[in-house]
Amino acid sequence: MRGLFITGTDTDVGKTFWAAAILRSLCQQGHSVGAYKPVCSGAVDSSPAEAPSWSDIEMLHNACTGKFPRELICPQQFQAPLAPPVAARLENRSVDEALLQGGLLNWAHRVDGIVIEGVGGWKSPISDSLTVEHFAKWAGFPVLVIAAQKLGAINQTLLTVEAIQRSGLQVAGVILNEVSQPENNSTAKNQLISNAEEIRKFSEIPFLALAEFNHEAELRCDQTLASIDWWETMSPSMTDLFSTDKREPCH
C-alpha cells in the first residue's frame, strides 16, 4: 500500500485542507485511497444535546466521499483544543498508543493508498511518550510539509525539513500556504515568491508549491494540484509496515 504523511510547520497551517484536497484529487482519478488521523483534539462547539464532532475528521470523511466510517479515519478523539495527551487527561483518559498504530494497520487490504495527517507540527506530542515524528518514522511513508506563509516561514520550513530528513524519512515536498487574506496582495505575492526562493536555495526537496489565499478555496487547490502527480508522490512504507513479522513499536 502506498502512503503519504502530512505534517506542518505549526498548527492551523492547512494540513487538513490539503489532505482533503489531495484525497479528492486521487479519488477523482479513480484511485482507491483512505484517510487516517491517529488522534484528534478540539471538538466543534455544540449544544449539550448534540454529539461532539471534529472538523478535521469531517473534512477527511467527506473527501473520501463518506464511504469510510469516521472511527476508521480517526479512532481516538478528545474534546479540548489542546495537545492530545493533555486533552485526554482533562477527560481522565489517556491516548492509547497501541491504537495509534493499530488504527493505521486496520486500513490494510481496504485501499491501495493512505493519506495520513499528523497533529500540529513535527515535534508535537500525540501521546504521553510519542510525538508526530515517532509515529511518522514507524509508518515510514514520505512526508509532505505544509508551511504557513508568514514572517518566519523560511526558518520554520527549513527546520522542519531538516528534522524530517535527519529522521531518515523522505521529504515528498513543501506547500507554502497563505492561510489568510493579506492586506496588500502585490506585496504578499512578492513575499511568497521570495520566501519560496530562499527555501529552495537552502534545502533539497522534490517540489515546492505555492498556494495564494483565495476565497474560492477549491479553485486554489485545483490550480496547485494540477501540476503534481500525488499518486507518484506516494510510496510504499520504508519500514515494510504491513508485513506482520516486521511490526515494531513507534519508539
Helix (H) or strand (E) holding 242: none
Rounded to 5 degrees, what are φ and ψ at 155? -60, -50
Catalytic residue among 37, 67, 189, 246: 37
User: Would the annotation count 115 as a binding residue?
Assistant: no
Q: Do residues 15 and 146 lie in contact, with contact meaning Cβ atoms separated by under 8 Å?
A: yes
Flag whether 56 is marked binding: yes
Is 17 among the annotated ligand-binding positions?
Answer: yes
Cα(4)–Cα(136) distance, integer angstroms: 10
Outline where DSSP puts E strands in the chain. 2-8, 33-36, 40-41, 77-78, 113-121, 143-148, 171-177, 208-211, 235-236
Residue 161 in marked binding region: no
Ligand-binding site membership of 214 (annotated): yes
Report whether 155 belongs to an annotated binding site.
no
119 is in an annotated binding site: yes
- Flag whether 13 is marked binding: yes
For residue 241, give every residue at least 6 positions away whose Cβ sits within 8 Å of its Cβ, in sequence order, or none: 104, 105, 138, 139, 140, 247
- Annotated ligand binding at 15? The verdict is yes
Q: Alpha-carbon distance 5 to 119, whole Å?
A: 11
Q: Which of 170, 116, 130 is nearest to 4 (CA)?
A: 116
* Residue 132, marked binder: no
Residue 67 annotated in active site? no
Tell whether 103 is in a known binding site: no
Kindly state the cell numbers that stand for 103. Answer: 488504527
Spatial separation of the C-alpha atoms in residues 28 and 24, rounded to whole Å: 6
| Strand-strand pairing, 33-36 and 171-177 | unpaired
Does 66 show up as a binding residue in the annotation?
no
H runs (alpha helix) in 37-111: 55-63, 70-73, 84-90, 97-105
Determine the Cα–Cα distance for residues 206 and 196; give it in Å rounded to an integer: 13
Residues annotated within a binding site for substrate: 41
**Binding site per annotation, positions for Mg(2+):** 16, 56, 117
Which residue numbers belong to the known binding site?
A: 12-17, 41, 56, 117-120, 177-178, 214
Would you please indicate which residues are annotated as catalytic (active-site) residues?
37
Binding residues for ATP: 12-17, 56, 117-120, 177-178, 214
